Structure 1
Amino acid sequence: MNKLTTFSVAFLATALSAQAQDLAQAKKAIDAEQYESAKSILKSIIKAKPSNGNAYFTLGNIYLTQSIQDSAKVTFDKGLAASEDGRLNNIGLGQMDLDKMDIAAAQAKFALALKDMKKRDVQEFVYVARAYMNAEKPDYKAAIATLTNPAIKNNQDAQLQLALGDAYYGDGKQNEAYVAYRNAFQLDSSLLKAKMQLGVLLKGAKSYDEALKAYNEVIAINPSYGPVYRELAETYYKIARNKPSTAAANYKIALENYDKYMSFTDYSIQSRMRRADFLILIEDYAALEVEANKMIELDKVNPRIYRYLGYAAYKNGNTDVAIKSLETFINTPGNKVITLDYLNLGLSRIQKGTSADGASIDNAAFTAGVADIKKAIEMEPLIVQSLSEVGRKFFTQKLYSEAAAIFEFGANTKESTSYLDDNVYFGLSHYYANANKLKDGKVDKEGMAKADAAFERILVASPTYNEAYLYRARANRLLEKDDVMVQNYQEYVSKISALGEAEVAKPAVKAKFIEAYNNMAASFANSDKAKAIEFFNKTLALDPANNYAAESIKILK
């Protein structure tokens, strides 16, 4: 009997040790972002020992990472009933409360998880801090407060220091983050994420060469640590953005490293979607369309795949596929629609409605596209910076009304980096759409008033942009506001004259002066003949053969 008892105790100890090792293996797989492998290990642990609350909690967190909320909730609820570490599952449910912005409910659940902790335990504090950081709206300050709680008696814990580094990094405290990451790696040299994050800090500081050096040190320790290749890829992407002359080469290196990262993951649908996000980042839409079609073969019901397919199809000119895919994604209940979804859908509709030669456009398609673009701008106003190229294409094709409709968004967004250029094109688009309509009385006066306002905004933003005076004059001529027109022409002539005789002598400038003098003269023809003759004579001084000025003087005399 004693032998049997001894054997049972030994067997139990061995089983517990094996489960602990399996849990450590699962966490190692999570750190390597091999989520499907980790899920498989955790499900095996739970099957073998349903009382292991930590396994439920860890599995539930993977579901949260993968945005599978329903499975996360079910897993956490089951974990609460586990006899060992079941209270940890309150933390997972608390994070879900944070996602719903129910702070009080989350804090109540965190308190339950922290209750009755042993003095030198820290993992519960780490898990709560990570819940604050991993919530849809991260609260890094709350995470820092949790990790620096005076109740913690063992702050020299590697995982605590790693979490503290992440919290400081998220809160923009780079120096504190560096110290915490360094401490974490010194406490546990197997904690490669801590060492990798030192490179991430350097990347954030735009010290790209030093960041690459830091990543290579990680690779020297463990060439199979997948996440470091993702960071390499994202760093080469940053280098490409900062050095346009070598962008193509660096994008290629970036993608090679990302593919290497993929080779160390489990090629799950989640890791494939992360790669798809990176392909959008480097604007490799041909590869994105291939990847999206592969993902559909693997998972025909995941709606996010239709986002990728829609983006790629739009960029690759497959507008029917783009529209259908993006409509499918946007109209699927529960999907989190973002700015780019509406933007690409709107641009796809416009592209489909525009003839290949740009000679014509379907008004219904254009109107529907603009409506989607408005939705995108309501979500993120600075997305207007992405529209300039589209507007310029319409402008080049002489589709001026359509160009004006596109440029109007940016022309009214002061914070946009394209604000000045968009106002220039917005004003010019309206002007050229109406330039030849004065005689038949079909001038779009609302559009021309917008053009005048745009040129006025240009002069506020850039007072030396003298052409704006000229175009304000032209706009007010079409609006038949002669007094404002004369004022604008005079301002133009005055500003250019101040630049010197050499500037005025330029043929293009001389032609604009003649335009100004003749139009000002014509405006005075019925009210002040002497003034009109004065301006016509200024024209003749520049162009003695100007027939309009010469004949007009004869009539006035």
Structure 2
Amino acid sequence: MKTVILSSFATIFATLVVNAQDIEQVKKTIDAEKFSDARKSLKSMVASAPDKGKNYFYLGQVYMALEKQDSARVYFEKGKAVKDAGHLNLIGLGQLDLLDGNKSAAESHFTNALAFAKKKNTEEQIYITQAYLKAATPDNAIALVAAKAAVASDPKSALAQVALGDALVANRNINDAYVAYRTASELDKTLLRAPLQLAIITRNAQAFPEALKAFNDILAINSSYGPAYREKAETNLAWAYAKKSLFEEKIAAALEDYKKYMSLTDVSTDAKMKYADFLILSKKWKELETEALAIQKSDKVNPKVFKYLGYAYSENGNPTEAIKSLTEYMSKVDAKKINGKDYLYLAKAKLATSIDDKGVVSNQAKFNESIADLTKAAELNPYLNTEFTDIGIKLYTGKAYLEASKLFELAVKNTSSKSFARDNFLLGNSILFYAESKTAAQKATLTAEFAKANKAYDESIKVGPSNVQDVYYNKGQLNRVIGTKESNAQAVLDYEGYVKTVIAKGDAEISKPAVKENLFETYSFIGANYATTDKVKAIENFKKAAEINPNDTFVKESLQALTK
């Protein structure tokens, strides 16, 4: 009997060792982002060792990495009832709660999981850290608390140091994050995620050559570590956008790196979709269309393919199919997954069917739909302002001024934009040029637009662009067009700002024909407005106007009347 018992213990111990080895190998496979391989291994492990909670938990993690939350939930629910480390699956359910925006439910799951954990709860705290960092609304402060708890639980855990680095980066403490990743590298030379994160920090500091060297050093250790190729691709992409003269060269390198990443991870639909995401960033629209159609053939049920097709069709001059594809996408996915760019591309496609080649609106109803979609895009992502500006300029060029103003109004929502001053100037101009030809009755309906235009010009003046004199002048023109007593008084102030700015630039500026013409009109208007309130200022301005054009009848007669 004793021999049988010992034999049973030996069998159980051997099974535990094999499972532990399997889990460690799977974790490396997950870190290398070979999710299809990891999924296959874990499904086999769940089938052969259904009493091991970690098998369910890591399988759930793989499904989450693949954005298949429903499948992840199935395995977390099954795994939480398992006695051996089943509590880890409560953390998985908490992760899903945070993705759903249910913070209280997540906290409850995390508390219960920690109650079941051993004294050294490093692994639990690491995944709680990641959960808060990847939540629908990340809580970086709580993530940092969890990461510090993971390190306190096991100061020699390289993975805990990586989690700490991730949390510190999220909290914008890059210096301490660098130290944490470096410590992780020193603790475990085989953990390539740590030097990878160090290289990413270098890349984010725009030290692109140094970052590429660091990624190549990682690949010298393990030439099949796919994430290093992905990050090389991201680095070349960032370099391409940072230096336009290198755009084509670096984009080509980035695409090659990403293809290598795909070949080393897996060739699943999920990997192809990541490649499609990269093609969008690379602006390779023909390639995106080809890739999306290939994905559609292999996976007819994944709604994201309609998004890719919509983007590609929009950029490749097929707006009708773009509208159809993006509408299909939006009808099939959770509304929370629809982002600003999705609405932007839908709007661009609708715009293409509502305006002609000269930028003139030919289908008002479709145009109104596109503006509604662009408004949603701006609400979700104000940093799309460059796109709004480009569309606005096309309408502006086609003299569809009121329509153009709607686009510039969206563009200026991003107050940190480099084109903020210009976009505000164009917003003011759009309303000015629209209103110039309108009757008094029509102008009376534009009160809100006039207020927007004045505010836009003021915002542009605050930033102080090189053409600030033009902003002052056009603002004066706007207030003359408004034509009320109050607006005329404001026009005088605007024109005085124009005069002051021009004079400050010196004789070279003053002598320009267009500037002289504007100065003449400015002095004449200011003189006329001071004629009944300040004779001295009126005479002063009319005399300056006469110096530019001494033969103007209105100026001569006004001076004669004022100097009697």
Distance 2:298 2:261 in 1: 20
Q: Which residue of 2 aligns with 1:28?
A: 28
Q: Which residue of 2 aligns with 1:471?
A: 474
Is 1:455 matched up with 2:457?
yes
Q: Which moved more, 1:51-60 or 1:457-466?
A: 457-466
Q: Which moved more, 1:363-372 or 1:12-21?
A: 12-21
The DSSP-based 3-state class of the residue aligned with 1:373 is helix
Distance 1:459 1:448 in 2: 17
The DSSP-based 3-state class of the residue aligned with 2:149 is coil
Is 1:410 matched up with 2:414?
no
Q: Which residue of 1 aligns with 2:514?
A: 508
Letter in 1 for 2:79: G
Q: Which residue of 2 aligns with 1:177?
A: 177
Q: How many residues align?
A: 556
Report the TM-score, using the length of structure 1 for normalisation: 0.88
Q: Displacement, 1:425?
A: 0.9
Q: Displacement, 1:478?
A: 2.4
Distance 1:451 1:56 in 2: 60
Distance 1:91 1:72 in 2: 12
Q: Displacement, 1:113?
A: 2.9
Q: 1:201 to 1:523 in 2, by over 3 A?
A: closer
CA contact (8 A) 2:476 2:492 kept: yes
Distance 1:489 1:88 in 2: 70
Distance 1:161 1:499 in 2: 58
Distance 1:554 1:141 in 2: 74
Q: Displacement, 1:398?
A: 2.4
Query: Alpha-carbon deviations, 1:471-520, whole Å to 9, x = none?
Result: 23322332234743455445534543454444332211222233335556
Q: Displacement, 1:219?
A: 0.7
Q: Displacement, 1:63?
A: 1.5
CA contact (8 A) 2:101 2:135 kept: no
Q: Which residue of 1 aligns with 2:300?
A: 300
Report the TM-score, using the length of structure 2 for normalisation: 0.87
The DSSP-based 3-state class of the residue aligned with 2:320 is helix
Q: 1:265 to 1:501 in 2, by over 3 A?
A: closer
Q: 1:314 to 1:16 in 2, by over 3 A?
A: same
Distance 2:432 2:22 in 1: 72
Q: Displacement, 1:30?
A: 0.8
Distance 2:69 2:314 in 1: 30
Q: Which moved more, 1:270-279 or 1:388-397?
A: 270-279
Distance 2:492 2:128 in 1: 70
Uncovered stretches (5+) of structure 2, i.e. residues with no partner: none
CA contact (8 A) 1:120 1:152 kept: no
Q: Displacement, 1:341?
A: 1.5
Q: Which residue of 2 aligns with 1:375?
A: 376
Q: Displacement, 1:15?
A: 4.5
Q: Displacement, 1:33?
A: 0.7
Q: Which moved more, 1:519-528 or 1:19-28?
A: 519-528
CA contact (8 A) 2:280 2:288 kept: yes
Q: Displacement, 1:83?
A: 3.5
Q: Displacement, 1:230?
A: 0.6
Distance 1:491 1:148 in 2: 57
Query: Alpha-carbon deviations, 1:158-210, whole Å to 9, x = none?
Result: 33233233233333232332233223233322211122222112122332222
CA contact (8 A) 1:95 1:131 kept: yes
The DSSP-based 3-state class of the residue aligned with 1:391 is helix
| Cα RMSD for the two superposed structures | 3.5
CA contact (8 A) 1:303 1:329 kept: yes
Q: Which residue of 1 aligns with 2:423?
A: 422
Q: 1:298 to 1:545 in 2, by over 3 A?
A: same
Q: 1:8 to 1:240 in 2, by over 3 A?
A: same
CA contact (8 A) 1:449 1:479 kept: no
Q: Which moved more, 1:148-157 or 1:59-68?
A: 148-157
- Percentage of matched positions with identical amino acids: 38
Distance 1:143 1:541 in 2: 71
CA contact (8 A) 2:123 2:150 kept: no
Distance 1:368 1:466 in 2: 37
CA contact (8 A) 1:449 1:475 kept: no
